[in-house]
Chain A
Amino acid sequence: MGSTDRGRRLRWWTIFTALTMVVAACTGGTTDTTGAEATVPGATTTPGDTTPPDTGAPDTTTGTTGTTGGGEVVNPGLYVHAADDEPLSLDPAQVAAGEAGETIIIQVYERLVEIGPGGPDLIPGLSTEVPTVENGLISEDGLTYTFPIREGVVFHDGSELTADVVKYSWDRALTMDLPEGNSSVLSDLVASTEVDGNNFVVTLNERNAAFLNSVVTAAVASIVSQEAVEANGGVEAGVVNEFMASNAVGSGPYALTAWNRGENIQLEVFADYWGDPAALDVRIDQVADSDVRALGLQAGDYDSIETDPTFIGDLEGAEGVEIFSGDFLLEPVHMGMNMNIPEGALPPEDTIPVDFFHDVNVRRGFNLAFDYQAFVDGAMAGLGGPIPHYLPQGMLGYDESLPTFTQDLAAAQEAFTAAGYWDEGFTMTVLAEEGGIFEIAGLVLADSMAALNPAFRINVLAVVETQFDSAHAENPFQYAAWIKNADPFADPAALFSAYIHPDGEWGAVHNFRNAYADADQVASLVDEAAVELDQDRRVEIYQELAQILYDDPVWLIPGNERALMAHRSWVQNFQMNPLWPRPSIKFQYFDK
């Protein structure tokens, strides 16, 4: 009995010790190994060094957990991108700008013209030519656009592209006119659509400098298979097409093969694609937690990950990982100032009067007190910067020499003294979405103001997405200020209309007329630039506006970030274009 008992006890002890060791190893092992990794920044390989996929992977049975080094390519022939959230819809007529569905739509569907990989230049898509006044495809009055439709293009379901299908696709979005979708960019401008032989002809109701760049290239203007739609519910005004919401039948280089909710979306190279075929099949994994995305990239399971600038610094120097930092995005982080606060709406802690921001000194004071450096370093990993109001880098009219706010505490004190708040101080609540750079912008603001004057208190109310969106959609807006990023507009006309025009989208909500010294002057300048076809004159107007807005700002713009993505160094031709919908990559150009 004794020996059996001891044997049993021994077994128990072994299990127990083993478990303890596992736990100990978790904590101990991680710090050691990762510490070692972090000290070898030189190990990063450049894309050129990577072994080509066909020769580099003799083992074709590689699982999802492969080697962790930078050498052997994991998942040859397949590109895996880790996304942070799941599409709400794959229907071009339903997807909102900036929504995760655009990631898929941009690869699977095509538009008449596309924004090329290199920059802002347009390249032909399903139209064989990019219309210009010179080639006669834009009428002299700038109202009629003609698109010669490419022949021999087939959709993923085998049906053929014709000019009628193009018209059908545009009319479909216009007819459905779903409030959550983006069809208003079409309906705002398009007066009529016609088919003329093999041409698709669009007539606008007013001249617009940005029609091709920001309307024809938008996801909502994607061309869908008419056969597929008609076979699955057709088109009905105001009614969601459930088939199109979860399927995609386009003509793009990729065909949607599977959407496993909560897991992944799989795209396959489309064999009958009319253009240069893509090299790699694609799988987009849903990875909500940013830590897990970063870990998966290091493990080699992901080729690129949705990258938040707040953790980019942590990936720098990781073996086999590169960080792509491209052009500036066109969606600066900004703080809205409410000049239209309803009486009694503010939270009880707030001591500011409802006409707080009517005073230009207050608005300038905020702009002068903000610690831009802290924000750009702390939230954008140093990869970004403040901008002139309201011209992000890369936008038509942007120029380095334009006046840009920098932190100037003395000037800020002067402004707040002139406004009469220096001695008594104030408390103000700013609304932001929790997590990420908006919350950080709020914290930097709070710290900046407290550093300027301890009597200036900013409460950062960081709420979940659902609450932020609901509050944000309310008119009148119920808080004094909020932080979010601007919508990406490829052209300043749309941007100034939304964010600067006193009667524009936000001008109306926040009542910029309570703010501007000369609101009519701002209005007429913005209106003039929107219809002006002479680009030099437009630049002139926008720069004049930037000067006016420096003296009389209606936003606080903490910074504009660069397009940023961490990827494996074995990815070849990695590139981003901020003008493409997020995540600003097109898989068709990649190889590994």
Chain B
Amino acid sequence: MQIREYILRRLMLFPLIIVGTSIIVFALSRVGGNPVAIYIEHEMSAEEVAELEERYGLDEPLPVQYLAWARGVVTGDWGWSAVSAQPVTEALRSRVGATLEMAVFAAIVAVSLGIGLGTFGGSRRDRLPDHLTRVFSISGASMPIFWFAILLLILFWVNLGWFSTGRSSPEIFGSIAHPTGLYTVDAILAGNLTALLDALKFLVLPAITLGFGAMAIIARMMRSSLVEELNEDYVDAARAKGLPERLVLRRHARRNALIPTITVIGLGFGFLLQGTVVVEIIFRWPGIGRWMADAVLRGDQATIMAYVLFTSVLFLTVNMIVDVMYAYLDRRVVLGA
């Protein structure tokens, strides 16, 4: 299949999948619990509950409600997010930046550590350093994130006082404008070094916590690919020419090994996205993960729907980009399989 054709096909399936996803979530939030549960207090009479349901159009049949919601999404009215007491679109806008910024920095940690450890292990195959890096990288994926995060906080917050929770120092937050919602980018745009350092300082612990978990998948893939590449004939040829091992590794093998590693970045992204839920709760990160968890526990349907819609679009897009990128880089891949 041609790449162009493949992309087109994926793009056409896109809305289908999103509609399917939203129907599942919509149905799910109606099976148990009440979608206006967040407003319901036990003192309320049945009439008051009915009144609330009427306000949010919940007295209509389910398909009508779904269509009303879908129409709202298309026209830009995503409803009212009760857990953050503001319109969903506004809440989403202010929170997406936070999650994305954390995910990007965690990805930087995961990718650099993962590729580094993978290269380190792969080039020392089956020797002690390989075994140690293997245990180290796999332990990242085996750590209960919430446990690890608290350990980091006890050490670096309570005992050392180096870092704190939250996203920025409130007094510094107010000193610059936040046009993008990504505090590091905002600080650079404002040319404010203090703000940049402040934003980075608050990113360190969450990015390490999250990145440490996502690192394993990249490290393991990098290692396997590298081992494979080092078995290739061209590597032997290069070695035979007397090229130093370091250059063989850096110029040839590592570069080629990166190609299959890209495929797992899509999966790693999924890991990061759900990892943000727990990390945001613990580090008080005002992102969409915590917003979602809160909404699920308190029964805020508009928020749940918006979150799922948003993340599934994001997830599908990232995976498609990764597939296409991989296809470009490695023409051997058969698309559509």
Contacts and interface: CB of A to CB of B under 8 A. Distances in A.
A377 B247 CA distance: 67
B44 A473 contact: yes
Given A16-B132, A262-B291, A296-B165, A34 B46 contact: no
Contact of B37 (A285, A298, A469, A487): A469
Nearest to A466: B299
Interface stretch (B156-164, B221-229, B257-265): B156-164
Contacts of A242: 80, 87
22 contacts: A5-B245, A16-B129, A26-B152, A29-B155, A65-B157, A65-B161, A65-B162, A65-B164, A68-B158, A97-B41, A179-B52, A246-B85, A262-B286, A262-B291, A263-B166, A285-B284, A289-B281, A296-B165, A465-B299, A467-B33, A467-B37, A484-B42
A26 B147 CA distance: 11
Shortest 4 CB-CB distances between A and B: which pairs?
A466-B299, A262-B286, A472-B42, A179-B48
A230 to B, nearest CB: 22
Nearest to B152: A26
Contacts of A299: 157-158, 161, 164
A295 B150 CA distance: 9
Interface stretch (A48-56, A87-95, A389-397, A537-545): A87-95
Contact of A263 (B38, B153, B167): B167
B37 A470 contact: yes
B312 to A, nearest CB: 22
A89 B85 CA distance: 6
Nearest to A85: B294
Contacts of A26: 148, 151-152, 154-155
A475 B46 contact: yes
Interface string A18-36: 0110000111011001100
Interface in B54-95: 55, 80, 82-87, 91, 94-95
Nearest to B165: A292
Interface residues of B, number: 73
A454 interface: no
A571 B48 CA distance: 43
Nearest to A13: B129
Q: Which has the most chain A C-beta neighbours within 10 Å: B129, B152, B162, B284?
A: B284
Q: Which has the most chain B C-beta neighbours within 10 Å: A238, A289, A298, A475?
A: A289
Interface string B119-134: 0100000000100110
B91 A261 contact: yes
Contacts of B32: 467
Contacts of A5: 245-246
B159 A30 contact: yes
Contacts of A238: 51, 55
Contacts of A86: 83-85, 294
Contact of A286 (B153, B163, B284, B296): B284
B39 A470 contact: no
A10 interface: no
Given A289-B282, A292-B284, A299-B161, A245 B40 contact: no
B169 interface: yes
B162 A465 contact: no
B49 interface: yes
Nearest to B162: A65
A470 B244 contact: no
Interface in B94-143: 94-95, 98, 116, 120, 129, 132-133, 136
Contacts of A266: 170
Nearest to B286: A262
A586 to B, nearest CB: 22
A266 to B, nearest CB: 7
Contacts of B40: 180, 469-470, 472-473
Contacts of A465: 37, 297-299
A484 B43 CA distance: 12
Nearest to A288: B281
B213 to A, nearest CB: 13
A262 B85 CA distance: 10
A401 interface: no
Q: Which has the most chain A C-beta neighbours within 10 Å: B33, B98, B133?
A: B33
Contact of B34 (A246, A288, A466): A466
Contacts of B132: 16
B166 A285 contact: yes
B290 interface: yes
Contacts of B284: 263, 285-289, 292
A469 B42 contact: yes
B55 A469 contact: no
Nearest to B95: A262
Contacts of A180: 39-41, 44, 48, 52
Nearest to B49: A473
Contacts of B154: 26, 30, 34, 295
A264 B284 CA distance: 10
Contacts of B294: 85-86, 288
Nearest to B139: A23
A135 interface: no
Q: Which has the most chain A C-beta neighbours within 10 Å: B80, B152, B165, B246?
A: B165
Nearest to A261: B84
A418 interface: no
A96 B55 CA distance: 17
